[in-house]
Amino acid sequence: MSTEVEIFEKVVMQRRSVFQKDYLPERIEDEVVAKMLVMADRAPTHKRTEPWRFVVFTGQGITKLAKFQSELYKKVATADGSFREDRYLNLLNKPAESSHIISVGMKRDAAHSIPEWEELGAVFCAVENLYLAATAFGLGGYLSTGGITNFAEAKEFFGLGPEDRLCGFFHLGKIKTIETPLSKRKPMEEKVSWVKD
């Protein structure tokens, strides 16, 4: 095998979600995150619509995000009777444990020439590139699709319109150790069929 294939295989096999409990308190350099986003931008995209939209929060930007999402959650959840104080506090306080938080959005093709599911597929390919880039840089990261992700009222804050989608939030941090076992997977034989004749 070539060196390039070996390196790629190592990055893919080591890719995993890493959460705040394993982050160091120090920040990632903005230049590294910018390089990661360039890698995310190389995701496949049907008809080159490039539907992914990212907003990067760091420093005081994370405080702004935390305040916005916790207050929006409080407003929406109080109105429908589902408000929980612990969720509110989590949305307010947990973001500060990440170095950077990247909102992930899907900008709908204006002509609607591409089915929405294909556009979402392209966005999540870009997210996988973020995961792989984080692994290659020795960083931790994960995609959160909870919180205010499905609140229509949240879209405008992230530069999205009514027909667009907020797909989640990619958290990043420097990690305590990169030595971890491979994540568990069921045997490939359970998920693959070969047709040869």
| 2 assigned to some structural domain | no
Region 17-32: mean pLDDT is 96
- The one-letter amino acid at 154: A
Strand ordering across the sheet containing 165-174: 52-58, 100-106, 165-174, 139-144
| 195 assigned to some structural domain | no
Residue 71 belongs to a domain with what CATH number? 3.40.109.10
Domain range for 93: 8-190
| 57 assigned to some structural domain | yes
| 72-99 pLDDT, tens digit each | 999 999 999 999 999 999 999 999 999 9
Least confident of 8-12, 119-123, 154-158, 176-180: 176-180
Binned at pLDDT 50, 70 and 90, residue 178 comes out as low
| 196 assigned to some structural domain | no
Q: How many domains does the chain have?
A: 1
| 197 assigned to some structural domain | no
Which distant-in-sequence residues (6+ apart) come within 8 Å of 106 by Cβ? Answer: 51, 52, 53, 116, 119, 120, 123, 164, 165, 167
